[in-house]
Structure 1
Amino acid sequence: MGQAHDVLERARAARLEGRYEDALRDHLWFHENALSVEPGMAGVRLSFALRDWIYLAEKFPLARRALQGLRDRDTAKMLNGGESRDLFRDIVAINSALGEERATHDLFERMDIQMAPLAQQCADLALPALVAAEDYALARRYLGDPIARVKGLAANLNAYTQELVKTGGTSSAPALLSFVLNYTKEVRLVVEVLRREDEEALAAQASQAALDDLTSDALRDAVQREFDTPGATIAAMVQHARANTTEH
């Protein structure tokens, strides 16, 4: 493991030991420097690291204010010529961790006016926040062809599944279930926007395409279960983890 990983582990240990200022110092370093020393930590930086930061904020309010400060700094940068999809992704992830999706919506509204081409590039990242804010009209404008969008999502899931089949092994099951969960979430967003905009027929077509375009019966069954019973995929992930623990 590299330096960035070690700093994140150190932040977690400091939090658990009640050394909150040390933990915050390490979180700040990790967020600002991790990618320069370990580019492979990109996913961790915007998921597990932010989750741990929020855990710290529950004990140490200054940590929340520090994270909001980073978000505000990056938002100002976006609106003053430093715009990029990667920077917007950072802002979206921080707002999601903070439970402040409205801030993502408000920023995207300004991007729609000031930098429409970039807004188009970032629309997929903004969609959950637009739906959370119930701004279905703005979401629909950037949805494009919803059937093509769903087919593209299905093609990605098919390709990912085929790659996992090549590698084999049951260890890939949690990753696949996670991908299925994300797929169903994205499809649901598309369908909800269409329904809220009174495009019921198109919503039904999108829902059907989300199943018809999957190439595996097992995959189709897993997606159908999640559509029918939201949370079924998470339950399957927990069951798999417990079974794995029992085996070892």
Structure 2
Amino acid sequence: MERARKARLENRFEDALRDHLWFHENALAVEPGMAGVRLSFALRDWIYLAEQFPLARRALQGLRDRDTARMLNGAASRELFRDISAINGALGEERATHELFVQVDIQMPQLAQQCADLALPALVAAEDWPLARRHLPEPLERVSHLATHLNAYTEQLAKSGNTSSAPALLATVLNYTKEVRMIALVLARVDEDELAAQVTTAALDELRSPALRDAVQREFDTPGATIAAMLAHARQEQN
């Protein structure tokens, strides 16, 4: 991945694309711990390359189309759906994720339930409120599950005493508030306003740390506050 980045910066675009393709297809066989990087930083760098080298975008779309065909023709799995939705997100083509999920919901309803959390952003982007609501059978339970993970992550950071983990914590807070907002929005759009309010309240009440609750509340009150905090922290680190 580093070699691909270096090649892009040196305008060796074909070399960069070759390494991006290799990394996407082979990284997990070499190092399973790269799963998160493969669908985040690596795809981000790939899009940077595509802005200068259109063939890179077509190659990424080709991988997406290949995996979509696999998904609908006998090789379906949550992991494969995650790959496809991440690529569509990087490409800004969330509608393709919505279209795929509709097909999965028809052909493989049990798998659709397993992939619903991955599909939710695309369902919201497509404003398919009925389908999104059908795959949110227990919104309060889902928020409780998200809060449990955030509590555990925060407590682990506190025990480690790692002061450099602030950006990671802020990113986690941002993801948490985005997820809760999406759930509340789906409920509001199907006229379940009372449950939407309960979801937002529970998202705060189930957080054990007062500082964490304050951070989430700030993001609820002022969307973008967490990103501003991340930028401020980065400037502080530079100084």
Please state which band the TM-score falls in when normalised by the shorter chain.
Answer: over 0.9
2:193 counterpart of 1:200? yes
Secondary structure of the 1:81 match is coil
1:227-248 CA-to-partner distances (Å, cap 9, x unmatched) read 01111001111111111121xx
Paired with 2:87 and 2:201, the residues of 1 have a C-alpha distance of: 33
Whole-angstrom distance in 2 between the partners of 1:110 and 1:75:
10
**How many pairs were matched up?**
239
1:72 and 1:220 mapped to 2: Cα distance?
A: 41
1:174 deviates by 1.1
- 2:125 match: 132
Q: Which amino acid is the alignment partner of residue 220 of structure 2?
A: F
Aligned equivalent of 1:67:
60
Deviation of 1:122 (Å)? 0.4
Q: Of 98, 112, 135, which residue of structure 2 is paired with 1:142?
A: 135
**Structure 2 counterparts to residues 1-248 of structure 1, below 5 A:** 8-246=1-239
SS in 1 for 2:133: helix
* Counterpart residue identity of residue 107, structure 2: Q
Specify the code of the residue in structure 2 equivalent to 1:146: P
The AA in structure 2 aligned to 1:192 is: L
**RMSD of the TM alignment (CA)?**
0.7
Mean Cα deviation higher: 97-106 or 16-25: 16-25
Greater CA drift, 165-174 or 121-130: 165-174
| Moved >4 Å (runs of 4+) | none
TM-score normalised by L of structure 2: 0.99
Residue identity (%): 77
Question: Matched residues in 1 for 2:65 and 2:26: separation?
Answer: 18
Could you tell me how far 1:33 is from its partner in structure 2? Answer: 0.5
Give, as a single letter, the amino acid of the residue that structure 2 aligns with 1:48: F
For residues 83-132 of structure 1, the C-alpha deviation after alignment (integer angstroms, 9 at most, x for no partner) is: 11110000000000000000000000000100000000000000000000
After superposition, give the CA deviation of every residue in 1:136-181 in whole Å (9 maximum; x if it has no partner).
Answer: 1000000111111111111111111111111013112111111100
For 2:162 and 2:109, how far apart are their aligned partners in 1?
45
- CA deviation digits over 1:180-224, x for unaligned, max 9? 000000000000000000000000000100111111110000000
